[in-house]
C-alpha cells in the first residue's frame, strides 16, 4: 500500500509538471481512457480525447504554473485518493498574472498495469 501511495503522489506531482510544460503527450499518457474532470464551475469533462482538447485550447491562453500541497492520501482497494490545495497562477502572454487557490482531489487506478489518473476535481 505504501508503495502505491508513493507512486500516486509522484504521478500527481509529475502531472502538474506536464501541464506547466504544456507536454500534451505526457498528460495524455497519465490519464485513464475513461477519465473524468471537474474543474471549478465548468461542466464536467469526460473521456481522454475531450480532456486532451480542453488542454490544447487552454495552452493557447498562455503559461500556467502551480504550487501544490498534498494534505490527504488514502488507498481503498486498488484505488488511490490524493487531495490537497493548489495555487494556480495563469500568466497570459503580455498580461499580468492571475492567481487562484483551489482544493483538488485525484483518484488514481491501474490501467494496463500502470497507475493512471482516473478522476480529478478542482474546486474553491
Tens of pLDDT along 27-59? 999 999 999 999 887 889 999 999 999 888 888
User: Quick one: what percent of the chain has pLDDT higher than 70?
Assistant: 99
Nearest residue to 108 via CA among 23, 42, 18, 14: 14
Q: Write out pLDDT tens, residues 65-79.
A: 888 999 999 999 889
- Which pTM does this prediction carry? 0.87
User: Quick one: what percent of the chain has pLDDT higher than 90?
Assistant: 63
Asked if pLDDT for residue 116 goes beyond 90, the answer is yes
Confidence label for 88 from pLDDT (cuts 50, 70 and 90): confident
Q: CB–CB of 108/80 below 8 Å?
A: yes
Q: Which residues contact 51 (CB under 8 A, 6 or more apart)?
A: 31, 35, 37, 45
| Domain extent at residue 108 | 2-123
Asked if pLDDT for residue 114 goes beyond 90, the answer is yes
Q: In this structure, what CATH number is given to the domain that contains residue 19?
A: 3.10.450.50
Number of domains in the chain: 1
- What is the Cα–Cα distance from 42 to 55, expressed in whole angstroms? 14
Asked if pLDDT for residue 84 goes beyond 80, the answer is yes
Amino acid at each position: 500500500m505504501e508503495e502505491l501511495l508513493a507512486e500516486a503522489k509522484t504521478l500527481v506531482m509529475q502531472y502538474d509538471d506536464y501541464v506547466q510544460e504544456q507536454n500534451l503527450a505526457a498528460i495524455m499518457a497519465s490519464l485513464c481512457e475513461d477519465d473524468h474532470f471537474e474543474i471549478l464551475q465548468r461542466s464536467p469533462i469526460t473521456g481522454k480525447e475531450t480532456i486532451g482538447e480542453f488542454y490544447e485550447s487552454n495552452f493557447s491562453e498562455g503559461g500556467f504554473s502551480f504550487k501544490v500541497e498534498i494534505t490527504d492520501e488514502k488507498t481503498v482497494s486498488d484505488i488511490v485518493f490524493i487531495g490537497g490545495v493548489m495555487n494556480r497562477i495563469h500568466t497570459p502572454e503580455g498580461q499580468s498574472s492571475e492567481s487562484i487557490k483551489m482544493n483538488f482531489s485525484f483518484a488514481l487506478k491501474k490501467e494496463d498495469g500502470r497507475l493512471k489518473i482516473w478522476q480529478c476535481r478542482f474546486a474553491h
